[in-house]
A and B are shown apart, each in its own frame.
Chain A
Amino acid sequence: MIEMTRNTFQDREWSVKVVGLGGAGTHALTRLATDGFAGGDLIAAHTDSRSLNLCPVPTRLALGQRMTRGLGVGGDPDLGRAAVEESQEALRGHLEGASLVLLMTGLGGGTGSGGAPRVAEIAREMGAQVVVLATLPFSFEGRRRAEQAAQGLAALQRAADLVICFENDRMSSLVDSSAGVEEAFGVVDSLLAQTVASLVSMTHRRSVMHSGFDDIAAALSAGGASAFCGFGRAEGENRVRQALEAALQSPLLGGYEALQRVSGLWISISGGSDLRWSEVQGVMEELSQRLPASVRLFFGAVVDPLLVGSATVTLLAGACAGLPVQVRAHAVSVPEAPEPMPVLPLESLQEWKSEEDPSAPLDAEVNVPEFEGAEARAEIDSSEQAEPVADSNPSTPPQEPPATPEPEPAAPQGGGLRPRTSPDLRRDIGASFLKRRLLARNAEATARAEEAQLAQNPARVRQSIQSPEAAAPTEVESQVAPQKMVDAPAPKPPQGDLTSGLGDQRGAGSAASTHVAKSKSTVQEQMRFEPVSRGRFEKTDPTVVDGQDLDVPTFLRRRISLSNDVSGSSQGH
């Protein structure tokens, strides 16, 4: 798996081309160019010639000029694909001689969703390895864009060697709430750019411990298209450890807790020539100790002369198949089923549906005002990405509003991206796109048969609101969508246990827990104890063995139910 290479002449035959396709792609490419990326040729390709001209790279390719007259494809993937077909020859000319093509694109629009698979096909036909870094649209951008993104992603998976996905929803947590829209997207772009840069440097530079795309592909294979990415950089005495911490703190990854649920992990550590073996060893030992034994670990170390005195750590993690994952409110239709689908317990599906069900009176009442905000924000996003606006919302059925809104009403302080709190993002970690699709589809199918029961669900929701712990006088919104746990493979704990766990969280009294409850989602149950249950050990280093936090009571972790209701007896006394 790990080989020692001393081939310094590798560069001569190794040619990297980085293609930024569509609005999001060219933006990320712009960032890469301004960061001084020198690892390969940069090629910008877009159907909208106006925004293409804003990209400062020397090689710019206007796609489908005859067909679109440089005005873009209006969010139509078919047009996007046709535009690429039209400009095929020019594209082939630019990609000539590439051994590795890194394609950055934003899925959901026309150029990205329709064009990217075709570009990947072309690059592969020309004998290059194709790695795609794709962003998925914000959930508030609407159902149609999500569907297009899903179709585009499925096509990309067939066409490319490796697809690394970034969910914009999770990216938004990278950004400070007070940040401007431009700054917010800047952060997203720079993350894409950093990932590209470290991918290239890993495979391109003289590496002490070589780790190539075969390793990345292996690390991410079980996760389908989805990868969690973390990047950290630090200087000084303890730099490797700090860089690792920073990478783990990356909201896209979500710390050690998230790593419990990955199946494969690719780690690249780069440092200057002063990178010490003991630093690397110590950090790797610590990391591997904190990971479950089942995680496949792929490791590479690179010496980069420019990094003297500092170190960077890049993590790519593939989610584990068959894991309980978050279900987003918007359902995404899938063109085909790539894997056998996990079967969810009936009860959890009902709950899932109860959250999504637009006809639930409580939901509707609360969410309608939110949706207006969301619409406005979707526009901001679209114009920023220089893609036509009108595609998403009109196609969304009018009775659907509660299905889309993720943002909460309190957010819009100028920033187009909503602020997120840490529990919120932790909860998001497990949301691998592929599994979301599977769950969503699974849920849709079952839901049709369960309509009668659905009508009673709002009542159930209210019931759980009335549980003593949840009765804290917070806003109604926070109680409307109480956290629901879905755990596909494991049996669900009894309802009483569930609410008491929730109650503990609320008991902590943090504003964060209200936040968690606000967004409409289904959550892994492991996380619910996290905010409070470390009790006395709150401020100490967690004792983590095999990815389990031993400070959390054993009976909670092993879900051993205690025979008597202790709270009842203590109250009764």
Chain B
Amino acid sequence: MAKDQIVVGLEIGTSKVAAVVGELKSDQTIRILGTGLTPSRGVRKGEIVDVETASRCVRDALADAESVSDVDIRAVFLGVSGAHIKSCQSRGSVLIPEERGEVIAEDFEQVQESARQVALPHDHVFLHTILQHYYVDGQDEVLNPVGMLGSKLEADFQIIYGARTRIGNSMRCVRDLGVEVTFPVFNGIAAAQVVLNADQKNAGAVMIDMGGGTTDYVAYCNGAVKACGSLAVGGDHITNDISIGVRIPMARAEWLKVEEGSVLTRGEAAEGRVVLKPEAGFAGCVVDRITLNTIIACRVRETLELVKRELDQANLLRYLGGGLLLTGGCSLLEGIDEIAEEVFGFSVRLTHAHAVSGPTSAFENPQLSAAIGLIKYAQAIQPTETKRSVRKFLNKLWPLR
């Protein structure tokens, strides 16, 4: 990866499998070389329910991406999602030896290790341990404590964890194809990398990625991740609601949602009817727009309310000056920003991946936010990787240093 600077992000979503090949440039920008997109099967609510079928979809998507970008894909950053992914707050601390009296880089690893001493539920594994702030001898919010004098280093971390088996299933889908998984990454964290810019992260902002099977959210405050999670409700639920409410097959309901769906229950958008033409095996149907929109609006509103409640419980709602950024397939629904504004009471923007270059169609598609985010994530963790390996190398040379 470090050699050719090409990274592949793979998201096995509920509605589609997206593979994005990106090039990490030395000036910290990203160029998209190609994307592979196939409809997904064998995935429900962000989790693999049929490994074989899902694996076939992954193969198709990777093959597409390979042929478009002319890159041989060996390893991917894999996006994972699902309701099993949870987060918690943890503080680690480490005592600095008196004779040294100064914080050095090695202490960071120890403090992280100590923060990870939390009791995870049975059969759960760590996905991310994200640093929020350092404290040296209780002094608040130190950004870079290296070289500071002190006797105790503490740090707050946001710990994201998930069920071992479910993450394992996703990884198996990829490994079965002979492709390595560099890291599994929570989709929400990935998407936030490209959806939120540094200003928004500092001012406090929340990103909601309403995808097919899950709604992932990540809230930043003072530049650090303060809350995140995944709700197993997404566009699939909207389709299912329409299918039940209007009594049409899922495929028609999906079409209706994508082509005619709106969350506006007042005004022009809610007037008139949609005609579904009769076809073989389907008698045809006329649906009032108001009915359709009501079904969608109920679901969207409820989902956003649930996210809002989570943020409220984390006491974050007052600190989100950067507002709400909506992405994911569901953000394409007409009027969703209005309903989100009603629910949250602050500014809402529909958005997609930023700070990347390449084919516009790729990064302007909110459905690809998470997959592109995986590449950004790879870029974000890369320097530390390099540093660490350099350090290891130096340690080998001068082991007594």
Bind each other: yes
B254 to chain A, nearest CB (A): 10
Within 8 A of A (CB), among B49-71: 49
Q: Scoring A residues 344 to 386 as 1 if CB is less than 8 Å from chain B, else 0, what string do you get? A: 0000000000000000000000000000000000000000000
B210 to chain A, nearest CB (A): 14
Contact B299 A536 (CB under 8 A): no
Contact A278 B122 (CB under 8 A): yes
Contact B302 A554 (CB under 8 A): yes
Contact of B241 among A286, A553, A569 (CB under 8 A): A553
Q: A543-B45, A554-B298, A564-B291 are in contact. Are A282 and B122 (CB under 8 A)?
A: yes
A556 to chain B: closest residue by CB = B244
Contact B291 A537 (CB under 8 A): no
B232 to chain A: closest residue by CB = A543
Contact of A563 among B45, B121, B288 (CB under 8 A): B288
Contact A560 B290 (CB under 8 A): no
Q: Does A281 have its Cβ within 8 Å of any Cβ on chain B?
A: yes
Q: How far is the CA of A278 from the CA of B45 in the complex (A)?
A: 26
Contact A555 B44 (CB under 8 A): no
A interface size (C-beta, 8 A): 38
Contact B83 A573 (CB under 8 A): no
User: A279 — which chain B residues lie within 8 A by C-beta?
Assistant: 122
Contact A282 B45 (CB under 8 A): no
Q: Does B142 have its Cβ within 8 Å of any Cβ on chain A?
A: no
Contact A543 B241 (CB under 8 A): no
Q: A537-B240, A562-B291, A570-B285 are in contact. Are A543 and B83 (CB under 8 A)?
A: yes
Q: How far is the CA of A554 from the CA of B237 in the complex (A)?
A: 9
Q: How far is the CA of A238 from the CA of B306 in the complex (A)?
A: 30
Contact A554 B241 (CB under 8 A): yes
Q: How far is the CA of A573 from the CA of B247 in the complex (A)?
A: 14
Contact A540 B285 (CB under 8 A): no
User: B244 — which chain A residues lie within 8 A by C-beta?
Assistant: 504, 533, 535, 553, 556
Q: How far is the CA of A537 from the CA of B214 in the complex (A)?
A: 13
Q: How far is the CA of A556 from the CA of B237 in the complex (A)?
A: 13
Within 8 A of A (CB), among B99-156: 119-123
Contact of A281 among B121, B237, B288 (CB under 8 A): B121
Contact A282 B302 (CB under 8 A): no
A232 to chain B, nearest CB (A): 17
Q: Does B168 have its Cβ within 8 Å of any Cβ on chain A?
A: no
Contact B247 A567 (CB under 8 A): yes
Q: Does A277 have its Cβ within 8 Å of any Cβ on chain B?
A: yes
Contact A536 B236 (CB under 8 A): yes
Within 8 A of A (CB), among B26-65: 44-45, 47, 49
Contact B233 A555 (CB under 8 A): no
User: A560 — which chain B residues lie within 8 A by C-beta?
Assistant: 294, 298
User: A551 — which chain B residues lie within 8 A by C-beta?
Assistant: 237, 240
User: A564 — which chain B residues lie within 8 A by C-beta?
Assistant: 288, 290-291
User: B248 — which chain A residues lie within 8 A by C-beta?
Assistant: 570
User: A12 — which chain B residues lie within 8 A by C-beta?
Assistant: none
Q: Does A13 have its Cβ within 8 Å of any Cβ on chain B?
A: no
Q: How large is the interface on B (under 10, 10 to 19, 20 to 34, 35 or more residues)?
A: 35 or more
Contact A573 B237 (CB under 8 A): no
Contact B233 A566 (CB under 8 A): no
A461 to chain B, nearest CB (A): 26
User: B285 — which chain A residues lie within 8 A by C-beta?
Assistant: 566, 569-570, 573
B234 to chain A, nearest CB (A): 10
B45 to chain A: closest residue by CB = A540
B175 to chain A, nearest CB (A): 23
Within 8 A of B (CB), among A530-573: 533, 535-537, 539-541, 543, 545, 550-551, 553-556, 558, 560, 562-564, 566-567, 569-573
Contact B232 A277 (CB under 8 A): no
Contact A573 B245 (CB under 8 A): no
Contact A545 B45 (CB under 8 A): no
Q: Does B397 have its Cβ within 8 Å of any Cβ on chain A?
A: no
User: A277 — which chain B residues lie within 8 A by C-beta?
Assistant: 119
Q: Does B283 have its Cβ within 8 Å of any Cβ on chain A?
A: yes
B120 to chain A: closest residue by CB = A278
Contact B119 A281 (CB under 8 A): yes
Q: Does A182 have its Cβ within 8 Å of any Cβ on chain B?
A: no
Contact A573 B295 (CB under 8 A): no
Q: Does A285 have its Cβ within 8 Å of any Cβ on chain B?
A: yes
- List the count of A-B residue pairs having beta carbons below 8 Å apart: 118
User: B286 — which chain A residues lie within 8 A by C-beta?
Assistant: 569-570, 572-573
User: A241 — which chain B residues lie within 8 A by C-beta?
Assistant: 122
B310 to chain A: closest residue by CB = A545
Contact A536 B240 (CB under 8 A): yes
Contact B295 A540 (CB under 8 A): no
A416 to chain B, nearest CB (A): 41
Within 8 A of A (CB), among B209-258: 231-233, 236-237, 239-241, 243-248, 250
User: B121 — which chain A residues lie within 8 A by C-beta?
Assistant: 278, 281-282, 285-286
Contact of A555 among B83, B231, B232, B241 (CB under 8 A): B241
User: B283 — which chain A residues lie within 8 A by C-beta?
Assistant: 570-571, 573
Q: How far is the CA of A504 from the CA of B250 in the complex (A)?
A: 16
Q: Does B287 have its Cβ within 8 Å of any Cβ on chain A?
A: yes
User: B399 — which chain A residues lie within 8 A by C-beta?
Assistant: none
Contact B233 A535 (CB under 8 A): no
User: B83 — which chain A residues lie within 8 A by C-beta?
Assistant: 541, 543
Contact A553 B306 (CB under 8 A): no
A244 to chain B, nearest CB (A): 12
User: B295 — which chain A residues lie within 8 A by C-beta?
Assistant: 553-555, 562
User: A539 — which chain B residues lie within 8 A by C-beta?
Assistant: 44, 49
Contact of A553 among B49, B120, B123, B245 (CB under 8 A): B245
Q: How far is the CA of A120 from the CA of B123 in the complex (A)?
A: 48
A281 to chain B: closest residue by CB = B119
Contact B247 A566 (CB under 8 A): yes
Contact B241 A573 (CB under 8 A): no
Q: Which of A504, A540, A550, A558 has the most CB of B within 10 A?
A: A550
Q: How far is the CA of A553 from the CA of B247 in the complex (A)?
A: 13
B306 to chain A: closest residue by CB = A545
User: B236 — which chain A residues lie within 8 A by C-beta?
Assistant: 536-537
Contact of B294 among A562, A569, A572 (CB under 8 A): A562
A504 to chain B: closest residue by CB = B244
Q: How far is the CA of A540 from the CA of B83 in the complex (A)?
A: 12
Within 8 A of B (CB), among A472-525: 504
Q: Does B284 have its Cβ within 8 Å of any Cβ on chain A?
A: yes
Q: A553-B245, A566-B285, A573-B278 are in contact. Are A535 and B240 (CB under 8 A)?
A: yes
B83 to chain A: closest residue by CB = A543
Q: How far is the CA of A238 from the CA of B243 in the complex (A)?
A: 37
Contact B287 A566 (CB under 8 A): yes
Q: Which of A286, A543, A571 has the most CB of B within 10 A?
A: A543
User: B288 — which chain A residues lie within 8 A by C-beta?
Assistant: 563-564, 566, 569
Contact B291 A554 (CB under 8 A): no
A141 to chain B, nearest CB (A): 42
User: B291 — which chain A residues lie within 8 A by C-beta?
Assistant: 562-564, 566
Within 8 A of A (CB), among B293-319: 294-295, 298-299, 301-302, 306
Contact A278 B49 (CB under 8 A): no
User: A556 — which chain B residues lie within 8 A by C-beta?
Assistant: 244-245
User: A553 — which chain B residues lie within 8 A by C-beta?
Assistant: 237, 240-241, 244-245, 295, 298-299
Q: How far is the CA of A570 from the CA of B278 in the complex (A)?
A: 10
Q: How far is the CA of A521 from the CA of B270 in the complex (A)?
A: 41
A15 to chain B, nearest CB (A): 38
Q: How far is the CA of A277 from the CA of B285 in the complex (A)?
A: 56
Q: A543-B83, A555-B294, A569-B287 are in contact. Are A537 and B119 (CB under 8 A)?
A: no
User: B243 — which chain A residues lie within 8 A by C-beta?
Assistant: 535-536
A-B contacts besides A541-B83, A558-B302, A573-B286, 4 pairs, CB < 8 Å: A282-B121, A545-B306, A553-B299, A560-B294
Residue numbers of B with Cβ under 8 A of A are 44-45, 47, 49, 83, 119-123, 231-233, 236-237, 239-241, 243-248, 250, 278, 283-288, 290-291, 294-295, 298-299, 301-302, 306
Q: 8 A–B contact pairs at CB < 8 A?
A: A278-B121, A536-B240, A540-B47, A553-B244, A566-B285, A569-B286, A569-B287, A573-B285
Q: Which 4 A-B pairs have the closest CB atoms?
A: A282-B121, A553-B241, A554-B298, A570-B285
